[in-house]
Chain A
């Protein structure tokens, strides 16, 4: 496909069972793979935030975003390119203590990548790195060359917008103003 790039979708929804299913179903229907996914409570009470990355062209990600936002309990969905976001991911590396102690290049590599040692015991060392995908992958490849990686995992992306407008809060305030008098919504 022409012009495919990695888009990040930020979705805010009510905290109701089954929303994740509804969101992923929009991707499944078009057979688009989700590259990474992070779900957590947002700063707005009662709202959950989904951070989803996927390879797509703009036309397709636009249609996916609209179809997600159409879901009744989804408050907002918007897609971004990397330059519009502050992005972080976390990598965890479980290394064999023997190798780490036996080869000073391992520690040098860890320092050079700006990673932290989070836990040490006689069997293993846990190293943690926050950064972009490429940083985390690069440390993995470097450590893997030493043959010391017992386990490795990389988190889904989390991101906040670089915009100075807080669109979701503003949107919700506007919505609340429209709430009709004497209505009973909510349970």
Chain B
């Protein structure tokens, strides 16, 4: 249609449709009302283009968008109002930035004539969001909307993904302009996919070919680059044991023979110790978080470090690299693989097994098959993992629940873990699970949360109720902020400063929202209740009465080297 003149609000909605958006998480308010007014008409009838999920808090909208993006690989979208609506999204924006999650937040703003006057619900959103977003932009005229939205989605999803914030003043929503779709696929100042350097690829391959004890560290970059097969070909050709970061857990199936476990402070013992023994360390789409490296001054000093990353600024940021291969790992991995000699590294790989056996005996068997005593988080996760057979999506909150869940869940399929790794946002789990359920409607979504994090987003039970979101919520209640309590016991002489928590009666909470509920206190009832939860259509809250003072193990104490990881606390 030529010269169709429509409102900025409608241009926004059509621009979102052009980007292939089908699901929006939002919350209306004063200065975004024109957009919601148009959105209503596009969520029903013959114009239906979107499902809009009304959350109960704007922060939850961002976490839901993150959960949606993480499982689907598409950009998560939120629409909120100005002022408090906008500031409430900032935790989610920072979370998405640290975890490279593609998201577009559209926030209302006062009209540009009122900017800078401390108008009602005015806040400098672009100024606030800039340091914690991939891109932030104020759309001041309706003529700019189509371009800005297309640019926002291009930036959010390309290269290393991240959150984009669009600040949308009211005048640009109500003013009229011609509808002309835009398709941005080039920004001259932005190079999302750097061209790999052939010399670096050859150097990396030569180092790996000469290695006797190579170790691969697999991060979320493999998931984001959809390079799962390329990773398998790479490690299988050269027989390289591979450890995964928290965010990279489902980049490689749990049962793969080259998988040697999870990295990190509470990861598996073998890869942590072996980081200090390997001669070549190959980091693939991971950023050497301090939770992975422990004390950096002693970290993998004996090894040549090869770092594959799409983001140039990650090279040498935390760990000095010997060979940097900058580019999309979907391209760089096969380029290196072509130059690799077939290899097996049999003895080196077997040396991981002995350490695994030690961890199994001292930690894992006690965590997942305790003989007596109160219920433990590890056995609850294990029961759900066995019942879902590695096909479910794992969503976690933050803290002990997150570490037990990520350690003992199983991953057969890609894009199966949704967790707040970088920012460690308590309250992430419940709304992220809502988003994951919309992003992967054919899959079972299990969210593990503690009593602390559950209460930080407990209002989202309303969203779950209203939409009958089929999330399986496993509330591991130990009446404590367990992770902080563990640190207090270990490093603060057991002074439990404000970590004991009085809980509500969750059965009544679930009942108030009309959500199916059961409580497990007894080990013998666990498998049965898990089966009942999974067999019940719709949402389900399974509360587990967990031992109050259990600790996550193993653990690399803060400020220690990764090979000083503890298997037990004396």
Contact = CB atoms under 8 A, between A and B. Distances in A.
Interface of A: 13-14, 17-18, 21-22, 25, 29, 59, 62-63, 66-67, 69-70, 72-75, 172, 175-176, 178-180, 182-187
Contact of B183 (A17, A70, A184): A184
Contacts of B182: 184, 187
Contact of B190 (A72, A180, A182, A184): A72
Interface string B178-198: 000011111111110000000
Nearest to B182: A184
B177 to A, nearest CB: 12
B147 A73 contact: no
Interface stretch (B127-135, B363-371, B484-492): B127-135
Q: Which of B136, B183, B190 has the most CB of A within 10 A?
A: B190
Given A72-B135, A187-B144, A63 B188 contact: no
Contact of A185 (B138, B143, B184, B191): B184
Contacts of B414: none
A72 B159 CA distance: 11
A22 B191 CA distance: 18
Nearest to A28: B131
A176 to B, nearest CB: 7
Contacts of B89: none
A186 B154 CA distance: 13
B416 interface: no
Contacts of B134: 72
Interface majority SS on A: helix, strand, loop or mixed?
A: mixed
Interface of B: 126-127, 130-131, 134-136, 138, 143-144, 147-148, 150-151, 155, 182-191, 311-313, 315-317
Nearest to A178: B186
A72 B155 contact: yes
Given A72-B189, A187-B144, 14 more contacts: A22-B131, A25-B130, A62-B316, A66-B315, A66-B317, A69-B312, A70-B312, A72-B134, A73-B190, A178-B186, A183-B185, A185-B147, A185-B185, A187-B148
Contacts of A70: 311-313
12 contacts: A18-B126, A18-B127, A21-B127, A29-B131, A66-B317, A70-B311, A70-B313, A72-B190, A74-B189, A175-B188, A183-B184, A185-B151
Contacts of B138: 17
B87 to A, nearest CB: 18
Nearest to B148: A187
B180 to A, nearest CB: 9
Contact of A184 (B127, B136, B150, B189): B150
Contacts of A29: 131
A178 B190 CA distance: 12
